[in-house]
Each structure stands twice: as structure tokens, then as C-alpha cells.
Structure 1
Amino acid sequence: MTRAPRTPDAGAAPPSEAGLLSLSDVDEKTLSELVRRSVEFDRDQRPAARPLAGRAVGILFTATSTRTRTAFTVAALRLGGTPIAYGPADLQLATGESLADTGRILGLMLDALVVRTAGPLAEMRRLARGAGRPVVNAMAAEEHPTQAVCDIATLVRHFGSLPGLSFLYVGEGNNTAAALARGLALVPGVRATFATPPGYGLPPALLAEAARAAGARGTVIEEVHDMERLPADVNAVYTTRWQTTGTSKADPAWRERFRPFYVDEALMGRYPGAVFMHDLPAHRGDEVAGAVLDGERSLAWAQARMKLSSAMAVLEHVVEDDA
């Protein structure tokens, strides 16, 4: 694939943002293709094609990460690219350079940039506009879109197809839950219930947006705050750790609010045919019992493996879009 050479004009406005920043920017066809390629890459993680050959991919993580950082680094290598890692204090952002200026410089040298931050998505969008190169949101405060791509691909890998699937998320309406709500809203024929503690639910505007998108596809996105109001039948139960990466809770009694949302053998016993999912890292005894996480019905480790293949699918997609 041949690309035109860059001829940056110092006086010109930078190009518009590209990449994958939010699943609100993605249509049903694009998500379906990302999921399909994720499953394909999971079956063959060493493909012959090298769509990133000769390309440099920045990996800028200002928040901790094990799976996502490793996945995107290895994904760039497996697709023929060269990853360049940056830590939280490595760039001149640490000395006060603006996001727009930093993005512009990185855009002159890199072919794509993968970013994780505990900050707001708006900051990542400013960086992307400055770069004018594909930027991938590997987690921001509001949303974790690549995790949802991974999770939906894991469901497809396990179930084959998703129409008729009943999905139950249990826990905080955090950035993973937000991405799942937006992602599952684009999958026809699914029922997704988010059981969240009072005061710790999905943002109302996001929930309404996801419900509208879902309605056009015969999908249901709903939220409950009472564990007695769960669906009668569920195919997959999902949870995340109660302390989301990079966050803290102001309420000193927050654990009491979360305690009823513990995923244990009793809850899984209500759904004997359901699989269990967790984005990891997990705190056994907090959000999930060890017997559930490590049990025969757990897909958590398959999800972890799928992080790599979904990272490959995302990088392939954003680089092809930028060709």
C-alpha cells in the first residue's frame, strides 16, 4: 500500500482527528468488521500480511496498564510496525507544552498513536486534532472503547453469533461499562442489562444515547440499581473491579453500596448456562469470588488473550483508514 509523502505546512491548520476515540464515532458496519478481524486474528496471531510495515506507532500511557499496553505493543510488532513507548513523564507535556503542540509534533513523525490516560476524553481529542494522525483511545476517564471491541469479539468467538444474547453487567458504570453500552447498542438483537449501585450508574446522557441507538436494531440497553430486578435468563455475566484504574471514591461508605453487586457462586447459580467475563485486573473477594473467576465458566483469560487480537484489528483499521 503506497502512501503520499507528507508535506506539512507550518502555517496550515492541522488535519482533523482520526482513529478510534469513542464508539459513539463508530457505525454498526465498522464495529462488526473490527469484531470479525479480532476473531480472525485470535485464530492466527502471526499473519503473513504486514499492514504496518515501515510505520511507527507511539504508545503513550500515562496510567498503569498490563494487558492493553502489552497488547498494542505486540500488535504493532506482529503487523510489521515499530512501537515507540512513552511514559507519563517522557514528553514535554510534563513541562507544560500544550496538547495541541505535542500532538502536532508527534503527528509529523509517527504514523499512529495509542493513548491511555486517567484524564478526560476531550484532552485526547485535542491531541488527535493536533496530530492529524490516527489516535486510539486505550482508555480515558469516560470510555474504554478498545476493551469493548475485545469483549464483543470474545462473545462472538464463544457464542458464534449474538442475536438473542442476554448480557448482564454487574458493578460500577465506569469507562468499561460505558464502552460496552455503546458497543452493544450497535449489535442487533441483544439485551444488555447494567446492574449498578445507586449513585454509581452510567451517565444518564450516555445511557439515553445508547438506548436510542439500540432501539433502531431491536436491541435493549437498560439499567437497574436493584439486584432483585435482574433478568430471568442471562447468557453472560460481566463485572469489573470496584476501584477503576486511576480513580477513587469520595464516599467513605462506598463499599457498602457495592456489596450487593458481588459476583459469587450464588449469583452465577441463578444462571447455570451463563459464562463469566472480567476485563482484569481482578480483586478476588471484592467484585468477584475466586471460584467464579477461576472456574470452568470463566472467559476472563480468553478475554485477556483477545486483547492482543483486538489491538491488531484496531491498528489495522486505523492505519488503513489513514492510507
Structure 2
Amino acid sequence: MMSIETRGLLTLSELTREELQGLVARSRELFLDRTAHDRPLRNKLIGLLFAKTSTRTRTAFTSGVVRLGGFPVTYGPNDLQTATGESIKDTGRILGSMLDALVARTSGPLDDLREMAGAGRLPVVNAMAAEEHPTQGVCDLATMLMRFGSLEGISVLYLGEGNNTASALAHGLSHIPRSRVTFATPSGYGLDPQVLDAAAKRAAAAGGSVREVHDTDDLPADVDVVYTTRWQTTGTVKADPDWRERFRPFHIDERFLARWPDATFMHDLPAHRGEEVSGAVLDGPRSIAWQQAEMKLTSAMAVLEWVVAGDEPATKRS
């Protein structure tokens, strides 16, 4: 276990199964009662650095800090001296001397957040990096727990790009005993092979499986959740001008979803209706995407409570 001074959340791969399951359970508990805490962030200053656009994550963490009794200190993409050449290390030292934690969505790699955390002995929460979106993963698992009552043995089908949300799902679900997840991605747009390999090994040790396919004819016959994300990941540009044609077979409409008549639909939002999903599916009776979005708040609160206040996530409050 990391000390409270250095505890952070950079990737779900670094959590133990018990830590992840505790965060997920706590997210659900706070969803059912947002007042089920004693303001554990009171008198704490939390930096919120968002160098990329964000609706759900930024609002969730800002609101979460305030609801837990803390004070948010916000930074935009050009507000820090890193924009004029100051090093990540020097910036981390300064922020660590003035803040109690930092929630960051940056344009740089995950290693930048790791360097900032180490230089400042500052708890850092990865609010999305190119490699992974771990707080989205906590939110997604909490939403599934709310829907199904248990995560053990859950079967998930993910369709679309192997992006940072997919990486978080791979790491997160691989911790769950007997879970099965299939990533159906266009060829050339799959998950990082190292992420896929690590998740597959972790899942196998827990009696589950993680696999990737590139053909929609090679999908599981029975799944609990069909999950997609928008095809154009935030802040990225695809070099292939014809990339949409390669993604077209992974579009989810009512006819496609009918292959799994009992499955629940999830989407991390924002959505582009008519690309990755039809409006009839996204807004239909089998979609829990809007509850999933609302769960961003309480999953942010659970992460903040654990990272900043040092509370074990399984601890119940009343």
C-alpha cells in the first residue's frame, strides 16, 4: 500500500483487486446517497488541471471536491508555466508545496503525471491520459455493479477503437473473478499489445479472459454488456482519411444490438449519433449511458476520498 502522501491513481493496473473493488463499491454507495460522508476533504486544496476539453470528468471532480468539503484550484491548458517551458519536475515541486492533490488531464503522456507526482510528493489522479482513463474505468465498473448487483462472471463486449477507455476497461475487468471481455476493434486500431497481454494474464489468474478480435463475425454469443465509445478519441487525429469506412462495421444500431437481446448498452460519452451508435440505441430502453454519466460524480468522490483523505474505499460512512 502506498503512503497517504504519495497515494494516487494513475492506472488501474497498479491497484490491487481489493482496492479496485472497494472504489467501485464506494462509488455505488455514494450514488445511492451523496451525503454518506463526513466531508473528508475539508480544508484541503485540490488542483484541477484540464489541458483538454472535458464535460463530465471536469464537472464531476470539481463538484466532488466541493461536496466533500474541499476547495478546487483550477487550471486551463495555458495557465501553468509549463506552457512557457518550465519542466514537469519543477512544476510538480511547486504544486506539491501548495496543494494537497492534483487531478490532471494533460496533453502529455502518463509518465509526465508520474514525474510530477514524484517530484512534488503529490497525490495525482489521472483524469485521462493518452494511455488510459482510469477514473472512467472505476465509473464503468460501478455502473455495472449498480445494474447487475455483482461483477463476478460478467461478460462484456466492447466495440470500437482500442483507446484509453478500452485500456481502463481491460485493466479493470481483468481484476474481476471469472469476468470475460472481448474487444472488437478495427484492424490497426486495437489496444496496446502490452496492455492487452497484461490484462489477459491477470484475468486468467482470476478465472476470466480478455481477448481482442477484428471481425464482427467473431463475437461472443452471449454478453451482459455491449459497450462503445466515440470513434474520434478526444485530442487525436487519424492519419488514414478513409478510417470511417474501417469503423463502419462496428456501428451499433437496433438490428446489431438485437444479436444480444438481454444485453445492456453502455457508452462513456460524448456520443456521435449516427457514427458509433444510433440515437435509437443510445436513448433507448436498454441504454444506461446516462446513469453511467451521472456515476462519474460519485466515482470521482470515491477516488478523491481514497487518494486525498486516505480513507480505505471499502469503509462505509453514514
TM-score, normalised via structure 1 length: 0.93
Kept in 2: contact 1:241–1:283 (CA 8 A): yes
Q: Which residue of 2 aligns with 1:65?
A: 54
Give per-residue Cα distances to partners, 1:131-150, cap 9 Å, x unaligned: 21210000000000000000
Q: Which residue of 2 aligns with 1:274?
A: 263
Secondary structure, in 3 states, of the residue corresponding to 2:130?
A: coil
Residue 155 of structure 1 deviates from its aligned partner by 0.1
**Distance in 1 between residues matched to 2:55 and 2:293, nearest whole Å:** 10
Kept in 2: contact 1:18–1:128 (CA 8 A): no
**Distance in 1 between residues matched to 2:37 and 2:185, nearest whole Å:** 44
Aligned length: 309
Runs of 4+ in 1 over 6 A off after TM superposition: none
Q: 1:33 to 1:191 in 2, by over 3 A?
A: same
**Residue in structure 1 matching 2:128, options 139, 159, 167:** 139
The one-letter amino acid paired with 2:102 is L
Q: Which residue of 2 aligns with 1:27?
A: 16
Residue 233 of structure 1 deviates from its aligned partner by 0.5
Kept in 1: contact 2:153–2:208 (CA 8 A): no
Kept in 2: contact 1:133–1:322 (CA 8 A): no
Kept in 2: contact 1:18–1:132 (CA 8 A): no
Kept in 1: contact 2:116–2:122 (CA 8 A): no
Kept in 1: contact 2:66–2:72 (CA 8 A): yes
Matches within 5 A, 1:183-202: 183-202=172-191
Give per-residue Cα distances to partners, 1:4-55, cap 9 Å, x unaligned: 9xxxxxxxxxx8x530001111110000000010000001113341110100
Kept in 2: contact 1:214–1:220 (CA 8 A): yes
- RMSD of equivalent CA atoms: 1.4
Matches within 5 A, 1:5-24: 17-24=6-13
Q: Which residue of 2 aligns with 1:241?
A: 230
Q: Which residue of 2 aligns with 1:148?
A: 137
Give per-residue Cα distances to partners, 1:207-265, cap 9 Å, x unaligned: 01000011110111111100000000011000000000010100111111100010111
Do residues 265 (structure 1) and 254 (structure 2) align? yes
**Residue in structure 2 matching 1:170, options 159, 177, 186:** 159
- Identical columns (%): 63
**Distance in 1 between residues matched to 2:33 and 2:11, nearest whole Å:** 27
Residue 322 of structure 1 deviates from its aligned partner by 9.0
Pick which of 294-303 and 312-321 moved more: 312-321
Pick which of 172-181 and 156-165 moved more: 156-165
**Residue in structure 2 matching 1:213, options 202, 217, 233:** 202
Do residues 85 (structure 1) and 68 (structure 2) align? no
Q: 1:28 to 1:48 in 2, by over 3 A?
A: closer
Matches within 5 A, 1:87-166: 87-166=76-155
The one-letter amino acid paired with 1:162 is L
Kept in 1: contact 2:41–2:309 (CA 8 A): no
Give per-residue Cα distances to partners, 1:77-128, cap 9 Å, x unaligned: 1111001110011111111111111111000010010000232111111111
Pick which of 46-55 and 261-270 moved more: 46-55
**Distance in 2 between residues matched to 1:80 and 1:149, nearest whole Å:** 22
Pick which of 174-183 and 18-27 moved more: 18-27
- Unmatched tracts of structure 1, length 5 or more: 5-14
**Distance in 1 between residues matched to 2:180 and 2:311, nearest whole Å:** 34
TM-score, normalised via structure 2 length: 0.95
**Distance in 2 between residues matched to 1:213 and 1:278, nearest whole Å:** 25
The one-letter amino acid paired with 1:56 is L
**Distance in 2 between residues matched to 1:119 and 1:245, nearest whole Å:** 13
**Distance in 1 between residues matched to 2:252 and 2:291, nearest whole Å:** 19
The one-letter amino acid paired with 2:198 is E
Secondary structure, in 3 states, of the residue corresponding to 2:223?
A: coil
**Distance in 2 between residues matched to 1:245 and 1:133, nearest whole Å:** 26
